[in-house]
């Protein structure tokens, strides 16, 4: 999704949504599930519905 | 390695170093006969208070040195702001740390109940305090690496 948005860097996205670059890295590697607020902020940044950015897989929990 | 991971590694080593040096200095005084750690519990109180003060000052100095070296090596002067992931990791690490200290506290009480000398209570407190700090920082490193 970052690449479709003018090859947005992790740092740029992190700055835009108010978290560290490491948190963006962790979300992309599926090592951290963001809070609902952060998930909405990321979706809002890309101007995309939440379910298009994030999906829920209960089997992996 | 992220700033937070480095910070936790520094915390573990500084905690071990400060405690080891302070314990060695106190033990030397005990051997010299300047203080009596076996019966005089007031001395233990004084030692704990001095340790708290020395530990805070030493950690501030170590942090300043760490921050300067980190800024020179990474060329990043700003300390990264704590975000929601950092807070969650810190919370889980603090929980693990409290479990560890609680076990240490119970161990100290069991020692007393078994008839060990009362000063062992303080020694077990120091060891469990140090262990809980290592568990705290170690847990944070683990959660940063493995995910939370």
Query: In this predicted structure, what is the pLDDT of residue A61?
Result: 55
Nearest to B30 by CA among B40, B45, B21, B20: B40
Query: In this predicted structure, what is the pLDDT of residue A8?
Result: 86
Judge whether A25 lies within some domain.
yes
DSSP codes of every residue in chain A: -TTTTTS--HHHHHHHHTS-HHHHHHHHTTS----HHHHHHHHHHTT--HHHH----GGG-
pLDDT band, residue B8 (cuts 50/70/90): very high
What is the radius of gyration, based on Cα positions, of chain B? 18
Q: Is the pLDDT of residue A58 over 90?
A: no
- Quote the CA–CA distance of B83 and B81 in Å, as a whole number: 6
Q: Is the dihedral of CA A53, A57, B1, B2 positive or negative?
A: positive
Judge whether A15 lies within some domain.
yes
Facing A26 at nearest CB: one of B80, B81, B85: B85
Judge whether A54 lies within some domain.
no
Contacts of residue A52, defined as CB under 8 A and 6 or more positions apart, other chains included, come to: A43
Residues in B touching A30 (Cβ below 8 Å): 147
Nearest to B10 by CA among B51, B49, B68, B83: B68
Residue B6, token pair as written in the block? 């480095």
Domain count, chain B: 1
Q: What is the span of the domain harbouring residue B28?
A: 3-146
Query: In this predicted structure, what is the pLDDT of residue A60?
Result: 61
Q: Is the pLDDT of residue A4 over 80?
A: no
Q: Is the pLDDT of residue B130 over 90?
A: yes
Judge whether A26 lies within some domain.
yes
Q: Is the pLDDT of residue A26 over 80?
A: yes
Domain count, chain A: 1
Residue B21, token pair as written in the block? 């040096």
- Say if the Cβ atoms of A20 and B84 lie within 8 Å: no
* ipTM value: 0.82
Which DSSP letter does residue B35 get? Answer: S
Contact at 8 Å (CB) between A53 and A4?
no
Judge whether A22 lies within some domain.
yes
Q: Which long-range contacts (CB under 8 A, 24 or more apart) does B29-36 make?
A: none
Q: What is the mean pLDDT of chain A?
A: 88
Query: In this predicted structure, what is the pLDDT of residue B81?
Result: 84
pLDDT in tens, B72-98: 998 877 788 899 999 999 999 999 999
Q: Is the pLDDT of residue A30 over 80?
A: yes
Q: Is the pLDDT of residue A1 over 80?
A: no
Which DSSP letter does residue B110 get? Answer: H
Query: In this predicted structure, what is the pLDDT of residue B109?
Result: 93
Q: What is the mean pLDDT of chain B?
A: 92
Judge whether A30 lies within some domain.
yes
Q: What is the largest CA-CA distance in chain A?
A: 33
Judge whether A9 lies within some domain.
yes
pLDDT band, residue B107 (cuts 50/70/90): very high
Other CB atoms closer than 10 Å to residue B89's CB: what's the count? 23
A17: domain CATH number is: 1.10.260.40
Chain A residue with the nearest C-alpha to that of B80: A20
Return phi, psi of residue B87, to 5°.
Answer: -65, -40
Judge whether A6 lies within some domain.
yes
- Quote the CA–CA distance of B90 and A23 in Å, as a whole number: 14
Chain A residue with the nearest C-alpha to that of B85: A23
Percentage, residues of chain A above pLDDT 90? 64
Q: What is the span of the domain harbouring residue A38?
A: 1-47
Per CB distance under 8 Å, which residues of B are interface residues toward A? Answer: 2, 4, 80-81, 83-86, 144, 146-148
């Amino acid at each position: 999704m970052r690449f479709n948005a003018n090859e947005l860097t992790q740092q740029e996205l992190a700055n835009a949504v108010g978290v560290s670059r490491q948190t963006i890295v962790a979300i992309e590697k599926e090592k951290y599930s963001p809070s609902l607020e952060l998930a909405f902020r990321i979706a809002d940044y890309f101007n995309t519905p939440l379910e298009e950015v994030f999906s829920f897989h209960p089997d992996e929990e | 390695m992220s700033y937070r991971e480095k910070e936790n590694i520094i915390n573990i080593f500084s905690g071990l170093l400060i405690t080891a040096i302070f314990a060695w200095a106190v033990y030397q005084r005990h051997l010299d006969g300047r203080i009596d750690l076996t019966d005089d519990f007031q001395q233990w109180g004084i030692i704990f208070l001095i340790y708290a003060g020395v530990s805070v000052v030493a950690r501030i100095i170590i942090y300043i040195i760490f921050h300067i070296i980190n800024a020179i090596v990474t060329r990043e002067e700003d300390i990264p702001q704590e975000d929601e992931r950092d807070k969650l990791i810190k919370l889980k690490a603090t929980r693990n740390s409290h479990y560890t200290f609680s076990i240490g506290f119970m161990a100290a009480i069991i020692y007393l109940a078994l008839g060990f000398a009362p000063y062992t209570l303080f020694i077990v407190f120091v060891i469990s305090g140090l262990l809980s700090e290592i568990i705290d920082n170690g847990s944070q490193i683990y959660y940063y690496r493995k995910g939370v």
